[in-house]
Amino acid sequence: MINVDKIREDFPILKRTVHGKPLVYFDNAATSQTPQVVIDAIVDYYSNYNANIHRGVHTLSQEATDKYEQARIKIQKHFNAKEAYEIILTSGTTDSINRVAAGFATLLNAGDEIIVSALEHHSNIVPWQMLCEKTGAILKVIPMLEDGSLNMEAYHNLLNEKTKLVFCNHVSNALGTVNPIEEIINAAHKVNAAVLIDGAQATPHIKPDVQALNVDFYVASAHKLCGPTGVGMLYGKQEWLEKLPPYQGGGEMIATVTFEKTTYAGLPHKFEAGTPNICGGIAFGAAIDYLNSIGFDEIAAYENELLAYGTQELLKIEGLKIYGTTKEKTSVISFNVNDIHPYDIGSILDKLGIAVRTGHHCAQPIMDFYKIPGTIRASFSFYNTKEEIDVLVAGVKRATMMLS
């Protein structure tokens, strides 16, 4: 059972005010807040062992290297990757996706097919469009249904011997829909297609087991997981990481260099050119430790309570419509009220100290499907409370009265 009052003490930012009001932070799907233990890990790095990693013989470099590689192992164990070298540390989910897309540019031919879902964030659409333009591959789309779920019958009909890659988010950032990724992965593998799952929105709520999923690639960002910005992870099966070429050239990713030929380092360094975000990687590991100390079962159960309560209370507002109503979803509520523009309501909520996201949420195809310009998105985390939801509901009512 989560002790939310105790947990809130771990997050310094939750004590601040905005426009003279207590901060109510409901923009967790964009980025989560950072607990003191993660802030301490960042300060500790810069205060005590700030140095470049992997090649230094001096004490600071060795300490930084040990901490960085320990963080990789924490991430490996959290996602249950078979080997630590299957975890590539990147600058975030978008970077991770682009690394895979760049690698497949050498493996695809004209007429090959790539499948994405209609629920994707732009970062899981645009790289594949660019890949298709470069290779002549064809992009196919799994359509969505009115409740915000995927049309799985249509997905199965899209699969064929030309399908080489399937990309899908684990959870929709715009709607909170939890996609049936086990079914998606298993069906793709039957036609020998590789699968990448975008876990950016899932990992704050769900603890994925990449071996049990049998997924080829899984990507995520630290800043969704109470960690810092600018760091993320790419899990890839060893067989795929060995097959793909390096993403960038430079230091760290080489074994030998002459003017005649360069040979590449083994995994994971083959995909980690240049000086990485050392502090970010270490803090990512600290964030993983923090979340596991609370427990993901406890987090999910509590957030489901918040989702149910928030849905119930918001639907009491006349003219309010929620988008994405499938049963399988995380603690995200996307809504509009009558024909009021989301930005206008969001601006008034900000004056009341309430942080929500407004707009298309980098998911314009979803907004096009519903024939709307955007939504107001309230996304709850384990440090939020039902009392804060009451403040949100009162704020939406007030904004609606002012704008009607």
Please state whether 54 falls in left (phi above 0), alpha (psi between -120 and 50) or beta: left
Tens of pLDDT, residue by residue over 211-233, are: 999 999 999 999 999 999 999 99
- Which entry of 132, 226, 279, 362 is annotated as an active-site residue? 362
Q: Cis (ω within 30 of 0) for the bond into 228?
A: no
Q: What's the pLDDT band for 203 if we cut at 50, 70, 90?
A: very high
Closest CA to 102 of 208, 223, 236: 236
Is residue 76 predicted with pLDDT exceeding 90? yes
Tens of pLDDT, residue by residue over 155-192, are: 999 999 999 999 999 999 999 999 999 999 999 999 99
Average pLDDT over residues 42-50: 99
Dist CA 143 CA 141 (whole Å): 6
Q: Name the CATH topology of 4-27+295-403.
A: Aspartate Aminotransferase, domain 1 (3.90.1150)
CB-CB contact of 152 with 180 (8 Å): yes
The structural architecture, per CATH, of the domain 39-292 is 3-Layer(aba) Sandwich (3.40)
CB-CB contact of 328 with 175 (8 Å): no
C-beta atoms surrounding 297 within 10 Å: 9
Tens of pLDDT, residue by residue over 97-155, are: 999 999 999 999 999 999 999 999 999 999 999 999 999 999 999 999 999 999 999 99
Residues with Cβ within 8 Å of residue 190, at least 6 apart in sequence: 159
Tens of pLDDT, residue by residue over 317-336, are: 999 999 999 999 999 999 99
Are domains 4-27+295-403 and 39-292 of this chain identical in fold?
no
The reported pLDDT for the residue numbered 313 is 99
Position 299, amino acid: I
168 is catalytic: no
Q: What's the pLDDT band for 1 if we cut at 50, 70, 90?
A: confident
Segments making up each domain of the chain, as ranges: 4-27+295-403, 39-292
Residues with Cβ within 8 Å of residue 312, at least 6 apart in sequence: none
